[in-house]
Amino acid sequence: MSPSPLVLDAADVDRRLPGVAAVRAALRRGFAELAAGTAAQPPQVRLPLPDGASDVIVYPGALCGPRAAGVKLSPYLAARPAGERVTAWTLLLSTGDGQPLLLCDSARLTVERTAGTTAVAVDALAPADAGTLAVVGAGPVGLAHLRHVRDVRAWRRVVVSSPALAAGDPARLAALRALAVEVEVVPDAATAVRDADVVCLCTSAARPVVDLADTLEDALVTSLSTNAPGAHELAPGDVARCAVYVDSRAGAPVAAGELRPLVEAGRVEVLADLPELVTGTAPPRPPGRAFFRSVGLGIEDLAVAALLVDPGTETA
């Protein structure tokens, strides 16, 4: 009889997730494997659904260290109420014996791997003396970025842009207080990013949320993906004015709504991706603004999912 996989709902995942340092370490190992050729990372697949407004994003991958392969499925269902449009589940299989190891709700897992990936990029790209961090968005992803990024530099000032926080939303304020991070809350993104060395865009917006002209001339801006087709948080014209970095050279120029037309037109060259940054093979960051774009990789999901099976990350 085949062994039953570990099945975890959202509450189980919350209980099993390790701290931010362990998540970042697992992600770094995954990116190092990609650089060494011991991990497999096919491009993510977007499956359009018949309603024309919904889709399913498929994130496959395989890692040698945990001896695991798997896939995350993340539907975006446009007809569902706001807050219920995106779900995600991850399946992890052993590459040692082919048996299932894990099936888990991936909502929290995705939040953690997304914020952890940004933290790895900030650690690689931000100046050592960076003093001001701005986070735009105070939903679960924005708050996770505060947890993951707060200890990669000795920040002297942390600013969060959130209309909900500025208006005194009790639930958001309670979540922020639980982080025990001293922050300055402002209602608009332009104010938040004005003096920031690092700007983390953490919204579900499908259109730009900041103007690059409002940022410092040497700012690092990070951005992430949502399931909304073509979503982007910085205008393509602004991206073209930055040194561009990505989580994956193979994936980001295809999946990122603002990068794809720029790369196709030859207006942007990706300087390095996270495997290169983590292994020290990337060229030095040039003067001026830098932009890091994460689209999400299957190996990121698998690296963190493996921690749920075995906190030591080495599954059988």
pLDDT digits (tens, 9 = 90+) for 112-154: 999 999 999 999 999 999 999 999 999 999 999 999 999 999 9
Average model confidence (pLDDT) across the chain: 91
Burial 216-233 (b: 16+ CB within 10 A, else e): beebbbbbbbbbbeebbb
- Cα 247 from Cα 300, distance rounded (Å): 10
**Per-residue pLDDT reduced to its tens digit, 159-180:** 999 888 888 889 888 888 888 7
* pLDDT at residue 314 in the model: 45
The per-residue pLDDT for 257 is 67
How large a percentage of the chain has pLDDT more than 90? 70
φ, ψ of residue 169 to 5 degrees: the values are -55, 120
C-beta atoms surrounding 286 within 10 Å: 10
Measured distance CA(246)–CA(282) in Å, rounded: 12
pLDDT value of residue 160: 95
Least reliable range by pLDDT among 62-66, 146-150, 274-278, 311-315 = 311-315
Please, are residues 39 and 61 in contact by the beta-carbon 8 Å criterion? yes
Written as one letter, the residue type at 243 is A
Crossing angle of helices 140-149 and 170-178, in 10° steps, is 20
Q: Which of 213-217, 260-264, 285-289 has the lowest mean pLDDT?
A: 260-264
Strand order in the sheet with 89-94: 6-8, 100-105, 89-94, 68-76, 55-63, 45-48
More confident residue, 43 or 226: 43
Q: How confident is the model at residue 249 (pLDDT cuts 50, 70, 90)?
A: confident
Characterise 205 by phi-psi region: left (phi > 0), alpha (psi -120 to 50), beta (else).
Answer: beta
pLDDT category at 14 given cuts 50, 70, 90 is very high
Q: Sign of torsion, CA 150 201 238 278?
A: positive
Inform me whether the pLDDT recorded for 227 exceeds 70. Answer: no
pLDDT surpassing 50 at residue 315: no
- Domains of the chain in start order, with CATH, are 6-109+299-309 (3.30.1780.10), 113-297 (3.40.50.720)
Per residue, what are the HEC states of the chain? Answer: CCCCCEEECHHHHHHHCCCHHHHHHHHHHHHHHHHHCCCECCCCEEEECCCCCCEEEEEEEEECCCCEEEEEEEEECCCCCCCCCECCEEEEEECCCCCEEEEEECHHHHHHHHHHHHHHHHHHHCCCCCCEEEEECCCHHHHHHHHHHCCCCCCCEEEEECHHHHCCCHHHHHHHHHCCCCCEEECCHHHHHCCCCEEEECCCCCCCCCCHHHCCCCCEEEECCCCCCCCCCCCHHHHCCCEEEECCCCCHHHHCCCHHHHHHCCCCCEEEEHHHHHHCCCCCCCCCCEEEECCCCHHHHHHHHHHHHCCCCCCC
Mean pLDDT along residues 73-90: 91
Residue 207 has pLDDT above 60, yes or no: yes
Cα angle: 163, vertex 167, 169; to 5 degrees? 95
